Amino acid sequence: MEERNFFVLAYDITEDKRRAKIAKLMESIGSRVQGSVFEAYLQKKELEALIKKSNRILDKDEDSLRVYFLCETCRAKIAMHGKGRLTPPPGVMIV
DSSP 41: E
The model scores a pTM over 0.85: yes
Report pLDDT for 65: 97
Contacts of 15 (CB under 8 A, 6+ apart): 59, 62, 63
Mean pLDDT, 10 residues at a time, the chain of 95 residues: 91 96 96 95 96 96 96 90 84 52
The C-alpha atoms of residue 18 and residue 24 are separated, in whole angstroms, by 10
